[in-house]
Structure 1
C-alpha cells in the first residue's frame, strides 16, 4: 500500500473528510494530491497528518500492504505440515512481492520465502531474505528478535539439508544467545532445542548436554513446549544403546507429561500409554502384540478432533495399514500397495525423523524378502538407503542396518 493510500484509508476509518484532515495546515486540494500519490508531503506535513490521524509516521510510510500480508499468512496451506506450498508461494507471493508489508507480519512472509528458497536450493536468494529480516529488526534496535530470526534461519536449513553448516553456525551463535537471552528466555530454549537436533549428526554428547539443559530450563520457566519431544529422543537413544534404565527413565517422563497434559500435540507421538516411546518398527519381538498396539494407537488418535491431528492421521493412516499388513504376514498386500513417495517426503524433517521413515518403509523390502524375492528386496533396500545417504552414520539407524543384515545375508 502506498503512502497516499494509507493516509486515505486511515482518514476514512476515522470518518474524517478531506477538509477535516487538511485543517489550516494544508489545502484540501493538496491533501487530495497526496492521497492520490500525485504529490509527496514534506516531513513537516507528514508529521502534522500523522498527529491528526493519531498514528505514527512509521505506520504511514511503511511499504507494502498490511491487509494483504495478513491474508497471506492466514492461508490454510501453511497449516499443512506434510505438503510444501511451493505452487501457492509462486502464484500468490512472488507475483505480488511489492505488497509484502514492511512490518513484523511482513517479516513472517519473508521467512516463508526464505524457506522456499532453501527448499529450491537457491542460497543467494535465501540470504537476501535473511538480510531483509535482520535489517528490519536491527534498524529498530530489536537485536534479540534479529537473533531469534538467525535461529529461524538455521532451522530453515533443514529444508536444504545443510546440517553441518547449520550446526557450525549454532556453535558460533552460542555467545550471542548468552548475551541476549535475558530479553527473551524463549530464545535460549529454542536455541538448545535446534542445537540438539543438529548435534545428533555430529556430536552425540552435545545432543545429550543440550537436551538436559533444555529440560532444566523447561522446569525453571514452567514452559514445556519441547519437553515430550526431547525426552522421547533421549529415551530412544538410550533404548537403542541398550541402557534400559535410562530408556525407562526418559520414557517415564514422557508418560507423566502426557498424563498431565493429555491434549498436547505430542499425544500423536505416544505409541501406547504404557510405552509411549517406540523403539522398533519392523523387527519387533511380538508381532501380534505390536499389531494390537498399532490398532489401539489408530483408534486413540482418530478420536482426537483437531486440525493438526486430522492432517497427521490422513498422512499416516496408509503407513499404519502397511505396517499392520506386514506384521500379520500379508506380504503380497504390502508389495502391491507400497508407495515410496508416502515415506520420502520433501519437507524439512529432523534427521531422526528421516531415519524413522526409512526404517518404516523397510516393510517393503522385508516383504519382498519374505516372499523369496531376495534380489528385488536388496534393490528396494538400496533405493531406500539412498534417501538417507547423508545421515546414514547417525546412531539412530541401528534398526535400519539390522534389517540390511537380514536382507543381504548370504
Structure 2
C-alpha cells in the first residue's frame, strides 16, 4: 500500500506538476519534498491546500487506497485480461492481492474482485467463490446489470465445465431470476448472453423442446434489435440441432445464415464450420465415407489455426479413411485428435469420444485386438458419463462388438 506522501507524489506526477508548482504560495518546495518522502506530516490546512492543488478530495489523499490508485491497477489488470493467456493470470492475482480487503465498493472494486475470482478459479485456487459473491454484491448495489449477469454466468459455467450439467442449468436460472427481479431494464447484450447460455445448458440436459423454443426466440430477438452478438453461436447450435433431427430443410437454412454471417463479419470460422459439419453429416449420419473423403480433399484453403477446426478436420479425416478401408491412415489421423480442455458440451464431447470407437475398429481390422478392446472401453467409459446423444448408440455397439471378438 502506498503512504500518504507516495500518493501525493503519484498524483502530482500524473498531473505533470513540478514540486514548485504543486507547493504554490502556501508551502515551500522543501516542505512538500519532506512530505512526499514521508519525513514530515502535513497539517490539515496544508492537506486541504494540496488536495485543491491536485484537484482531488481530501478523502482521496487520506484513503489507504485511493480511487485513482485502484483505477490505475484495474487498467493494468485489464491489459492482462485482453491477452487471454493463462500464464499471466498469476501476475494479475499478485497485483490485486494487496488490495483485496480494501475492495469494498464502487465499479473498480467490483471489477477487480470479478477478475480475481475468475483467474483464481482458472488457476485452481479454492478461494474464488466468496470473492465472486463480493463482486456480485457490489454490482447489485450499483445496479450494474451486465457485470452482475457476467458473474452469475461465470458461476454457472464453473459447474458446466465440471460436467455437472443439471446443477449448471439450475444455477444459471437462479442467477437469471435474481438479475431480472432486481433490474428494471436488462440491456440487449446481457439478454442475449442469458438466452445463449440457457440454450446451451438446456441442450446439454436434453431439454430439447425448451432449448429449441428459446433458441428461436433468441434469434428473433437478435434480429429485432439488429444485434449480431452471439448470433454465430446460436446459428451453429440451430444448425447442429437440425443435423441431429435429420431436418435437411432447417440445416440448409441455418447453413445459409452462417455463410451470410461469415461474409458479413469476415469470419472464416463460420464458413469453415458449415464445411466441416456437412462432412460430419456424411460420416456419422449418412455413412457416405467416399463423398466425405472427396469433400475433405477439396478443402484446399488453410484450415483456421483454432484447435477446434484442426481437431475436427483430423477426426473426420480418420472416420472417412476408416470407412473406405484405409485403416492405417485412419488410425494415424485419429491419433492426432486431442480433446481440448475447453470442450465441455455433451454434443461436442460425444463427437470427440467417437474417435476412440473408430480407432478401436481400425485396430481390430489391423489385427491388434488388445488395443481395439482398450480403445473401445475408453470410448464406452467416456460416453457413459454423458447424457444420451445421437452418438451414444454407435459407441455402445462398437464396444459390444469388440468385446465379443
Q: Which residue of 2 aligns with 1:160?
A: 162
1:206 aligns with 2:229: no
For 1:98-177, list aligned pairs within 5 A: 98=97, 110-111=113-114, 113-119=116-122, 124-177=126-179
From 227, 230, 235, the counterpart of 1:226: 230
CA distance in 1 between counterparts of 2:44 and 2:282 reads 68
Which ranges of structure 1 fall in alignment gaps of 5 or more residues? 80-84
Q: Which residue of 2 aligns with 1:376?
A: 371
Check 1:231–1:70 CA distance in 2 against 1; reply closer, same or farther (3 A cut): closer
1:12 aligns with 2:13: yes
CA distance in 2 between counterparts of 1:300 and 1:106 reads 47
Per the TM alignment, residue 260 of structure 1 is displaced from its structure 2 partner at its CA by: 4.1
1:364 aligns with 2:359: yes
From 351, 373, 396, the counterpart of 1:404: 396
Q: Which residue of 2 aligns with 1:331?
A: 327
Check 1:28–1:356 CA distance in 2 against 1; reply closer, same or farther (3 A cut): farther
Q: Which residue of 2 aligns with 1:270?
A: 274
Q: Deviations over 1:160-201 (max 9, x none)?
A: 333222211222233344453735221110001011111113
Check 1:109–1:54 CA distance in 2 against 1; reply closer, same or farther (3 A cut): same
Q: Deviations over 1:232-273 (max 9, x none)?
A: 32332233233444444444433443354443642332226x
Of 190-199 and 36-45, the range deviating more from structure 2: 36-45
1:59 aligns with 2:67: yes
From 293, 296, 320, the counterpart of 2:295: 293
Check 1:236–1:186 CA distance in 2 against 1; reply closer, same or farther (3 A cut): same
CA distance in 2 between counterparts of 1:3 and 1:266 reads 53
Aligned residue pairs, count: 388
1:352 aligns with 2:347: yes
Q: Which residue of 2 aligns with 1:82?
A: none
Q: Which residue of 2 aligns with 1:2?
A: 2
Check 1:105–1:174 CA distance in 2 against 1; reply closer, same or farther (3 A cut): closer
Check 1:97–1:220 CA distance in 2 against 1; reply closer, same or farther (3 A cut): same
**Any conservation in 1 of the 2:315–2:334 contact (CA below 8 Å)?**
no
**Any conservation in 2 of the 1:68–1:99 contact (CA below 8 Å)?**
no
Per the TM alignment, residue 128 of structure 1 is displaced from its structure 2 partner at its CA by: 2.4
What is the alpha-carbon root mean square deviation over aligned residues?
Answer: 3.9
Per the TM alignment, residue 150 of structure 1 is displaced from its structure 2 partner at its CA by: 1.6
Q: Which residue of 1 aligns with 2:195?
A: 192
Per the TM alignment, residue 54 of structure 1 is displaced from its structure 2 partner at its CA by: 4.5
Check 1:42–1:143 CA distance in 2 against 1; reply closer, same or farther (3 A cut): farther
Q: Which residue of 2 aligns with 1:240?
A: 244
**Any conservation in 2 of the 1:369–1:407 contact (CA below 8 Å)?**
no
Of 175-184 and 105-114, the range deviating more from structure 2: 105-114
Per the TM alignment, residue 288 of structure 1 is displaced from its structure 2 partner at its CA by: 2.1
Per the TM alignment, residue 29 of structure 1 is displaced from its structure 2 partner at its CA by: 5.5
**Any conservation in 1 of the 2:110–2:139 contact (CA below 8 Å)?**
no
Which ranges of structure 2 fall in alignment gaps of 5 or more residues? 61-65
Instruction: With the length of structure 2 as denominator, give the TM-score of the two structures.
Output: 0.77
